[in-house]
Structure 1
Amino acid sequence: MTRSLVSTNVVKRHRIAGASASGTHSTKATPTTTHWSTCRTLVCPPVLTQMSPVSEPMTIVHKTGFNSATQCGRRSRMISSPSVRSRRGNGTASMLRPATAGWPHAGSDASITREMSEADVSAGDDGPLPLVDPASLERYLANALPGDGEFAVERHQAGHSNETFFVRRGDAEWVLRRPPRPPYLPTAHDVKREYTVLDALAGTVARAPRPVLFCDDQSVIGAPFYLMEKVDGFVIRDRLPAWLDSDDDRRRIGEELIDAAAELHSVDYKEVGLDGWGRPTGYVERQLVRWRKQLDGATKHTRPLPDYEKVASWLEEHRPPEQAPAIVQGDYKLDNVMYGPASPARLVAILDWEMATIGDPLADVGWMLSFWREPDDTPDALHGALNDVFGSNGWSSRADLIDRYEQRSGRSMTDIRFYTALAIWKLGILLEGSYARHLMGTTDDPFFVLLKEGVPAIGARALEVIRSG
């Protein structure tokens, strides 16, 4: 999870999983009420947009001409998908440019990138260990994935979560994911967990990147890591690409977002080997307990939030019947998916699987709907350039998306108001934790100053959702 739910503007020209970024910028939104359908009236929450400082474009940090017959300096234990082999990309280069503005995991046609520092690629006597040692990785892959060609590693500088690198050898291209440098909680940044769900989903209808291998030998790059395929695509953040800028494609973007969610939720987690991977029952109850504790912990250091208390009480009193459990992505929304490089709009990859688990699939839908804008929504600075993205005609309404998911999944959407309110409530609590850090003086990030008004505005929006029913 990122430090707030907001990420920088990134155009991901390749299919990658879990890459996220966060930054800083926010203002207060004016609450609005939006009709979802004749009998469903829900409210889109204010979105606190962040943006980190933009640095210079990333550079290729290591190139060699490499022969697969070269002796590998290390071998490691490796868990891999049934076919551990190179996934060959089309050679298209990433488009990495400075960022402008965005929204939750939000973005533009740009990526926050930087030239890899010396600490990223080589360790000095007194300096930190490298995040990736290209020579060591090259030797390891020579044995694990034999092949020839020039070898290159690039860092995707985005976010405060697991680290992401692009790896190329000849025509083969992969994405490498590893934890950040410590310290972090033992259960945080578990790349094996990401790999496990991606490996389970390989060959199913789920639109997930295919994993290539997992390595738990920390002598290779200093931490466990995995590789996955890299495929061209576009993440919609603050603009539409020209090939999707039509009424038909705008409608299809929403339909594809819903269809991909329904497909993921249709996968039988037991049949793909994930039985026991998560706790399939009691998901909503655990969410309420966990986030209530988070709320209590944050407000001890900040201020009373009466709207959040009201929302918490309503959620407890209106807990819906338990849904049949499914694989839940955990952070499902427009900027965590990727669309193909041509019309008609086609969702080619669901990204960012760090929070995936077995649970209530409507939690994914409620989270996604809470960020979906409509042309008639009142523009506000909190949504930044996203206002412009949804300012054109042709977009599906939230009511349309609800109905489509119900049709595609066969699940009742009677309680979608609960899941949307839950999503907004969780977002506000998450950001109140950041505001507590600001008040305690543990961060000087100017974004957190804006949470003084931003968090109460989110709570008010959650109440509007509740009262709209």
Structure 2
Amino acid sequence: MARDTDRLAEGLRAFLPRGAGITGVKTLSAGHSNETYLVEGLNEILRMPPSEEGLLPPYDMARQHAVLSAVKAHAPAVPLPAMLELSTDPSVVGDDFFLMECVPGEAFEYVTPDWVKADPVAVPDSICRQWFDAVIGLHTMPVGEMPPGGRTVQQEAQHWLDVARSAEATTDLIGVLEDLTARPPATSGAPTPVHGDPKHGNCLWHQGRLTALLDWEMAQISEPLLDLGYILMFHDQGEASLADAGFEQPGWWSPERMIAEWEKGTGRTAVDVARYTVLGQAKVAAIIALGAYLFTSGKVADVRFKAFGAVLPAYTKLLVSRAMAAA
């Protein structure tokens, strides 16, 4: 994250009515796309596009702000911070941005925390219950309250096929996405609000309670099975595993339990769920391929993207195996 945090603090002080209370801006640990900062003195969160070329363009901060505001207002089962100011004037801090409430919590994705392992049945079960209540709450939100914009399932597969091709991905990955584009999975009904990245690593937890579901840049109106398949693909990844901390606990829900709870909560049938799981994994593989390509081509210097290339072969092998089983 290459931004000058002193410049960010200076710009926010001049922009915000409460700006005099800002004592600094602190870089928080970042994902691989949008950037997040803590505005010290106000205890608020600043959200901005990536300071280098990112994995998930375009970075429409106004739309993200609108999505979060809509979900906050119309899907009470989805815990979210309160949304604050939005600015689309790049002269303020150099890019569009928005501010939101800072909520307590920690995320886990690669290492299972001690508080989860302390009660390996009841705590993981509670985590999955709260997580799925939030996802189901989004999928049953009135679709008219969601800001417009979305893709059909076929368009979704085509989009990630285009990403894979732009990243000069392997023929195996491109072949899976070509098949999903030519033969998209069946739909479960009318489109709904969809998160796009509803993995457990995007959940914040505080004292065993889900306090926020994060990272909404891929949110859209589409088929909700895209979200369910995305979640299911984290099961049983073996040596290709990227982020399955918690899944090893005995209380963690099985794929069958997740499907049953989603069907019960949404009133839909999880048709073609195996192919949606493949599509979710192919989407992640395309993103990994893009990250590796951006690093090797010199377009980004983020060393985390260098590691993407090392995991891609095992990940693609698992993807092809799952695609063959789901065909």
Question: TM (normalized to structure 1)?
Answer: 0.60
Alignment of 1:409 onto 2:293: no
In 2 relative to 1, CA 461–346 (structure 1 residues): closer, same or farther, beyond 3 Å?
farther
Structure 1 partner of 2:232:
369
In 2 relative to 1, CA 196–410 (structure 1 residues): closer, same or farther, beyond 3 Å?
same
Give the deviation of 1:183 after TM superposition. Answer: 6.3
- Is 434-443 or 192-201 further displaced after alignment? 434-443
Asked if structure 2 preserves the Cα contact closer than 8 Å seen for 1:164 and 1:178, the reply is: yes
Structure 2 partner of 1:140:
15
Q: In the TM superposition, what are the counterparts of 1:157-236 in structure 2 within 5 Å? A: 157-169=29-41, 172-181=42-51, 188-204=58-74, 205=76, 206-236=78-108
Q: Distance in 1 between matches of 2:133 and 2:221?
A: 19
How many residue pairs match? The answer is 320
In 2 relative to 1, CA 136–405 (structure 1 residues): closer, same or farther, beyond 3 Å?
same
Structure 1 partner of 2:318:
458
Q: Cα deviation per residue 1:189-216 (whole Å; 9 max; x = unaligned)? A: 2211111111112233132222011122
In 2 relative to 1, CA 313–383 (structure 1 residues): closer, same or farther, beyond 3 Å?
closer
Q: In the TM superposition, what are the counterparts of 1:439-454 in structure 2 within 5 Å? A: 446-451=306-311, 453-454=313-314
Letter in structure 2 aligned against 1:304:
T
Q: Cα deviation per residue 1:369-395 (whole Å; 9 max; x = unaligned)? A: 111x3xxx4853x437846x3333222
Asked if structure 2 preserves the Cα contact closer than 8 Å seen for 1:366 and 1:423, the reply is: yes
Asked if structure 1 preserves the Cα contact closer than 8 Å seen for 2:44 and 2:102, the reply is: yes
Asked if structure 2 preserves the Cα contact closer than 8 Å seen for 1:431 and 1:455, the reply is: no
Structure 1 partner of 2:196:
330
Matched residue SS, 2:43: strand
Matched residue SS, 1:203: helix
- Is 397-406 or 240-249 further displaced after alignment? 240-249
Matched residue SS, 1:417: helix
Structure 1 partner of 2:112:
239
Give the deviation of 1:368 after TM superposition. Answer: 1.1
Matched residue SS, 2:275: helix
Larger helix proportion of the pair: 2
Asked if structure 1 preserves the Cα contact closer than 8 Å seen for 2:13 and 2:22, the reply is: no
In 2 relative to 1, CA 200–434 (structure 1 residues): closer, same or farther, beyond 3 Å?
closer
In 2 relative to 1, CA 434–149 (structure 1 residues): closer, same or farther, beyond 3 Å?
closer
Instruction: In structure 1, list runs of 5 or more residues that go unmatched.
Output: 1-115, 123-129
Q: Distance in 1 between matches of 2:289 and 2:124?
A: 34
Q: Distance in 2 between matches of 1:243 and 1:361?
A: 28
Matched residue SS, 1:331: coil
In 2 relative to 1, CA 273–355 (structure 1 residues): closer, same or farther, beyond 3 Å?
closer
Asked if structure 1 preserves the Cα contact closer than 8 Å seen for 2:52 and 2:300, the reply is: no
Q: Distance in 1 between matches of 2:146 and 2:211?
A: 24
Alignment of 1:426 onto 2:283: yes
Matched residue SS, 1:202: helix
Which of 290, 293, 306 is residue 162 of structure 2 equivalent to? Answer: 293
Between the aligned residues of both structures, percent identity stands at: 26
Matched residue SS, 1:395: coil
Matched residue SS, 2:30: coil
Q: Cα deviation per residue 1:243-300 (whole Å; 9 max; x = unaligned)? A: 6731111111112211110001111131x362xx214xx51011122233334444xx
Q: Cα deviation per residue 1:379-430 (whole Å; 9 max; x = unaligned)? A: 53x437846x333322211111110011011111132112111112222233
Letter in structure 2 aligned against 1:121:
T
Alignment of 1:304 onto 2:171: yes
The structure with the largest alpha-carbon Rg is 1
Q: Distance in 1 between matches of 2:264 and 2:243?
A: 32
Asked if structure 2 preserves the Cα contact closer than 8 Å seen for 1:320 and 1:415, the reply is: yes
Asked if structure 2 preserves the Cα contact closer than 8 Å seen for 1:424 and 1:461, the reply is: no
Matched residue SS, 1:228: strand
Matched residue SS, 2:31: coil
In 2 relative to 1, CA 155–278 (structure 1 residues): closer, same or farther, beyond 3 Å?
same
Letter in structure 1 aligned against 2:217:
E
Give the deviation of 1:140 after TM superposition. Answer: 2.4
| Bigger relative contact order (CA 8 A; separation at least 6) | 1
Asked if structure 1 preserves the Cα contact closer than 8 Å seen for 2:195 and 2:219, the reply is: yes
Q: Distance in 1 between matches of 2:92 and 2:247?
A: 45
Instruction: In structure 2, list runs of 5 or more residues that go unmatched.
Output: none
Q: In the TM superposition, what are the counterparts of 1:319-358 in structure 2 within 5 Å? A: 319-321=185-187, 323-339=189-205, 341-342=206-207, 345-358=208-221
Asked if structure 2 preserves the Cα contact closer than 8 Å seen for 1:213 and 1:227, the reply is: yes
Give the deviation of 1:231 after TM superposition. Answer: 0.9
Q: Distance in 1 between matches of 2:247 and 2:10?
A: 45
Asked if structure 1 preserves the Cα contact closer than 8 Å seen for 2:176 and 2:282, the reply is: no
